[in-house]
Amino acid sequence: MIDRGRHSILGILIHAVDYETAVERILAAAREKRSFAVSALAVHGLTTGALDAEQKHRLNTFDLLVPDGQPVRWALNLLYRCRLRDRVYGPALMHKVCARAAAEGLPVYCYGGTPEILAGMRARLERQYPGIRIAGMEPSQFRRLTPAGQAAALARIRESGAAILLIGLGCPRQEVWAYEARAALAMPMLAVGAAFPFTAGLVRQAPPRLQKWGLEWAFRWCMEPRLWRRYLLLNPAYVFLLLLQACGLRRFAPEGRPPSRELLFG
């Protein structure tokens, strides 16, 4: 197990851990019925937090932020000599957690995506992890919820008997949702985004070589042109700001600003 501390990348406090450490912490929280917010951050999610004081506050209150993207892992190694040999890729982390949950009889709840995505995801998980207990699946409503609607969704998750919650609302909505829900749910919550459609087989993942070279973003841009703003604007911003941090030309404080209101995504 590797745990080399928590370090600031553009003011976002990323944990320099490996898969084994992340899975053990998540499973421990599930066994203890303890709230535990987790997100796997790539460049998009990290830069969004760096540029938005309220999102920075949300992210830095999470119990575990793992380096999903290779450029995030490279930054940890460059700035802090963490010597991480691999990232902690959100979809892979989700599958490792599901495998352990199946082995230990811990029920899983999936929140987000479309009915088609969730149906494909259920089939894949039940085929790949015999004995997995899926306590419930609830699609995103793709809109803001009322306080009553949010309270009802949280009640359904609690009453399902779930021990682990997987959230696939997309970044940054899923991190906002986890931040707002954590006090109401005594279980680990994993914000894993694209893991839902990847698992369902409805969206292609980048070839392993492109992932290794940190070019997954280019593949996803080709597959999903609607994401052009994410990659055309935020990727260069990440590189520029990281250079400022590496050269000591700018300090990125980890203190954000508490949100002025709840957003109640669903």
User: What amino acid is encoded at 58 in this protein?
Assistant: R
pLDDT band, very low/low/confident/very high, at 263 (cuts 50, 70, 90)? confident
In a domain, 259, yes or no: no
Residue range 228-256: mean pLDDT, rounded? 88
Structure tokens at 232: 């055309």
Instruction: Identify the band that residue 172 occupies on the pLDDT scale cut at 50, 70 and 90.
Output: very high
DSSP assignment string, 101-160? HHHHT--EEEEES-HHHHHHHHHHHHHHSTT--EEEEE---SSBPPHHHHHHHHHHHHHT
- The model's confidence at residue 214, banded by pLDDT at 50, 70 and 90, is confident
The pTM of this model reads 0.94
For the residues 109-131, what does the mean pLDDT come to?
97
Containing domain of residue 164, as a range?
A: 3-246
Structural domain total, the chain: 1
219: pLDDT confidence band, cut at 50, 70 and 90? Answer: low
| pLDDT above 60 for 96 | yes
Q: What is the CA radius of gyration of the chain?
A: 18
Mean pLDDT calculated for residue range 197-215: 81
- For 119-151, letters b (16+ CB in 10 Å) and e give ebbbebbeeebeebbbbbbbbbeeeebeeeebe
Task: Please indicate whether residue 226 or residue 128 has the higher confidence score (pLDDT).
Answer: 128
Whether residue 258 lies inside any domain: the answer is no
Determine, yes or no, domain membership for 106.
yes
Neighbours of 10 (CB within 10 A): 22
Question: What integer is the mean pLDDT of 253-260?
Answer: 95
Name the residue with tokens 């409805």. Answer: 202
Q: Is 60 exceeded by the pLDDT of residue 228? A: no
Q: Give CA torsion, residues 75, 77, 82, 88, to 10 deg.
A: 60
Tens-digit pLDDT profile for residues 39-51:
999 999 999 999 9
Residue 143's pLDDT band (cuts 50, 70, 90): confident
**Amino acid, res. 158:** R
Residue 221 reports pLDDT greater than 70: no
Rounded CA-CA distance 89/91 in Å is 6
Question: What is the token pair recorded at 260?
Answer: 């002025």
Residue 194: DSSP 8-state: T
- The reply to whether 251 falls in a domain is no
Domain assignment present for residue 263? The answer is no
pLDDT band of residue 4 (cuts 50, 70, 90) is very high
Mean pLDDT in the chain?
A: 93
Please state the rounded mean pLDDT for residues 191-215. Answer: 84
Tell me, yes or no, whether 60 lies in a domain. Answer: yes
159 lies in some domain: yes
Cα dihedral: 207, 164, 120, 94 (round 10): 10
Among 91-95, 221-225, 243-247, 253-257, the minimum mean pLDDT is found in 221-225
Query: Helix, strand, or coil here: 86?
Result: coil
Residues paired with 190 in a beta bridge: 38, 166
What mean pLDDT is predicted for residues 138-163?
Answer: 92
Q: Is it the case that residue 123 has pLDDT exceeding 80?
A: yes
Position 217 in a domain: yes
Which amino acid is located at 93 in the chain?
L
Using alpha carbons, select from 189, 194, 180 the residue that is nearest to residue 45: 194
Give the pLDDT confidence of 10-62 residue by residue, as tens digits. Answer: 999 999 999 999 999 999 999 999 999 999 999 999 999 999 999 999 999 99
